[in-house]
A and B are shown apart, each in its own frame.
Chain A
Amino acid sequence: MAIRITEPGLATTVQDTGRPGYYHVGIPQGGSMDQLSAELANALAGNTPAEAVLECTYIGPRFTTDTDAVIAVAGAPVDVLVNGTPREQWTRLKLVAGDEVSFGMIRAGTRYYIAVQGGIDVPMVLGSRSTYALGAMGGFEGRALKAGDALDVGTAGLERHASAADFIDESLRPSFAKEITVRVMPGLYDHRLTEEGLNTLFSATWKLTPVADRTGLRYAGPSVSWKPRVQPFGAGSDPSNIVDAGYAIGSIQIPGGKEPIVLHRDAVSGGGYAMVATVISSDMDLLARSAPGTQTTFTPVTMEEALAARDEGKTLRSRIWGSAGQ
């Protein structure tokens, strides 16, 4: 069984839960930017959370299936069309051989996910099917999809089909708001900002610029001030520079004190900018759903609050999978 791509969309890639464990050698964890939406699509399609899905950014693909298939679309709101007829997101869609799927204009957010029962079957690379396009590895030939590509579909999870979720209740779906509050933990280099600079970071409203992709998201807003110092040997001359250090996914750097950048799932693993705070893992999906123009505030939380948020995520996932045994 295969999915044949007739139009690729803007940047459609194969993604899964990611490739953790190699960041220290420069390979990011990657995976679906909005992990929850991808997982919900998998739940609807009768897969496990681990199956690879298609991540569609702003403009989705047009494709046909050469056999009967079960798919689901979850994530950013968009019209789903099967042979030109509108169908629903957040539910299981049955396709027959030859059906063509296409998408309307995205209405909010950034990305929606197409899960196919059985999962997109591309080779595992370092334990994951996720596309890391910058490194030309994983996914379908290490790149975003092109017209003419044919994607194999696996057989994983097919026996679970009967227990899959038929429909995702609205209370379980993420929201795609234009104003969000993102929780961060200060550090490791927050001591390099002045008190005023730190206050600005946590009190200002930051507007997401169009410079936002799988690598990171850049925000516009006021300048933040750094403490003066004689830059140590090995650090750049700007006060936002440090001696090179490892980055964390979710860490916030503010080159030159202007336009903070939050690193996301395909980020580089190290460099010479001070990381003043780090977005908690629970809120990385929220960032991933942010469209350009989203008004964002960064609010500091403690490690205990960050861990409590992670536990809430686990509770949500147990509600999603319920009797499916996840």
Chain B
Amino acid sequence: MTDIISPLPGIFYRKPGPDKEPYATVGDRIEAGQTVGVVEIMKQFSEVRSDVSGILETFAIEDSGAVNPGDVIATVTEG
């Protein structure tokens, strides 16, 4: 299991827009470098990416939840 960590504080969103599909859902296969969500701070949206390839196991932060630097956003089982 590899954690995807937020490098910055803000609000975590799983979708690129309110009417859009989520970047990824639990059970999806994720490639290294793939975006799983965005964190909004100071009117900027920073993409949160997975460093590894594998299966997206869980989201630790719900959509529109607050995050701090170092918080686990999601976990991926490598493979």
Interface, chain A (partner B; CB < 8 A) = 10-11, 57-59, 105-107, 210, 212-213, 291-293
Partner of B43, one of A59, A106, A213, A292: A213
B7 touches A59 (CB 8 A): yes
A106 touches B8 (CB 8 A): yes
A58 touches B66 (CB 8 A): no
Interface, chain B (partner A; CB < 8 A) = 5, 7-11, 40-44, 46, 66, 68-70
Q: Which residues of B contact A57 (CB under 8 A)?
A: 42
Q: Shortest Cβ distance from A110 into chain B, in angstroms?
A: 8
> Cα distance A293–B9 when bound, in Å?
9
Q: Shortest Cβ distance from B49 into chain A, in angstroms?
A: 14
A11 touches B9 (CB 8 A): no
> Cα distance A210–B11 when bound, in Å?
7
Q: Shortest Cβ distance from B12 into chain A, in angstroms?
A: 10
Secondary structure of the A contact surface, majority rule: loop
Closest to B9 in A: A292
Q: Shortest Cβ distance from B43 into chain A, in angstroms?
A: 7
Please give me the 9 A-B residue pairs with the lowest Cβ-Cβ distance, nearest first: A58-B8, A213-B42, A292-B9, A210-B10, A106-B69, A105-B69, A105-B7, A210-B41, A210-B11
4 more contacts with CB within 8 A, not counting A210-B40, A293-B68, are: A105-B7, A106-B8, A106-B69, A213-B43
Q: Which residues of B contact A105 (CB under 8 A)?
A: 5, 7, 69-70
B69 touches A10 (CB 8 A): no
B9 touches A58 (CB 8 A): yes
A107 in contact with B69 given A59-B7, A59-B8, A210-B10 (CB within 8 Å) = yes
Q: Shortest Cβ distance from A81 into chain B, in angstroms?
A: 14
Partner of A11, one of B11, B44, B70: B44
Q: Which residues of A contact B41 (CB under 8 A)?
A: 10, 58, 210, 292
Q: Which residues of B contact A210 (CB under 8 A)?
A: 9-11, 40-41, 66
Q: Which residues of B contact A107 (CB under 8 A)?
A: 69-70
Q: Shortest Cβ distance from A262 into chain B, in angstroms?
A: 15
Q: Which residues of B contact A58 (CB under 8 A)?
A: 7-9, 41, 69
> Cα distance A307–B43 when bound, in Å?
35
Q: Shortest Cβ distance from B73 into chain A, in angstroms?
A: 13
A11 touches B8 (CB 8 A): no
> Cα distance A84–B5 when bound, in Å?
20
Partner of A10, one of B5, B11, B44, B66: B44
